[in-house]
Amino acid sequence: MRIARYNGRSGNLDVCFQYGRKVLNTANANQSFGSLHTVWQRAFSAIGLKKKKPGSLLLLGLGAGSAVRILRKELRCAAPITAVEADPMMERIAREHFGLNDVPGVTVIIADAFNVLTSLPEAFDLVVVDVFNDHLIPEQLSDPKHLGQLLALTNLGGDLLVNTMAVDEASTRLSDAVQFGLLRSGAKVEVLRPMPENRVMWVVGGGETKRPV
């Protein structure tokens, strides 16, 4: 049941009640608190994040705040979170409908993620990349330059997680391009499958494999 519709950067953003809870959807994909919430719960569990206790976190793609909520409320991670979100409407929805104002220690930067990768002042223990136009990741994400920048933003011994989808020819091509691009950089990559349609690229060891940008 849709309760609100917003005009987002890439189309309609629908706040809905689904299976008894509030979620955010686009035309073809859940953006927060539905299946995507499960994706990050399972991905964080798969890398043993609860035991790692990262000291700094970077989230590229805030959405309505699923990953933020899991990190703070479910995993009790108290480290500061820097979240970069291209669509200001996403931040508005996160605050008005999904309680982002009640989550401490979150700095939101409204900007295109690929325009700020070289301007962030530090590297991070955990880098989470969750950038989509509906169900497609942007072409820029498979660019070797941007993949190198993501690796450079991950601290030695840290973790880089890149969410992709593989549900049709276009999304599968982009997912493969990210995987192969990371492998060509020399990164050690494990592909997590937290949901049948999702492939989360996990760069094990983070900065241990990064290359100059």
In tens, the pLDDT along 91-133 reads 999 999 999 999 999 999 999 999 999 899 889 999 999 998 8
Return the pLDDT at 208: 46
Domain ranges of the chain: 30-209
Return the pLDDT at 213: 35
What class has domain 30-209? Answer: alpha beta
Read off the pLDDT of residues 167-200 as tens digits, 9 standing for 90 and up.
Answer: 999 999 999 999 999 999 889 999 999 999 999 9
Return the pLDDT at 48: 95
How far apart, in whole angstroms, are the C-alpha atoms of residue 66 and residue 161? 15
Strand order in the sheet with 2-8: 2-8, 11-18, 21-25, 30-32
Read off the pLDDT of residues 21-38 as tens digits, 9 standing for 90 and up.
Answer: 899 888 878 888 888 899
- In this predicted structure, the answer to whether residue 144 has a pLDDT above a threshold of 60 is yes
As a whole number, the mean pLDDT across the chain is: 90
Which residue in 44, 45, 10 sits closest to 28, CA to CA? Answer: 10
How far apart, in whole angstroms, are the C-alpha atoms of residue 91 and residue 68? 12
Which residue in 208, 120, 195 sits closest to 163, CA to CA? Answer: 195
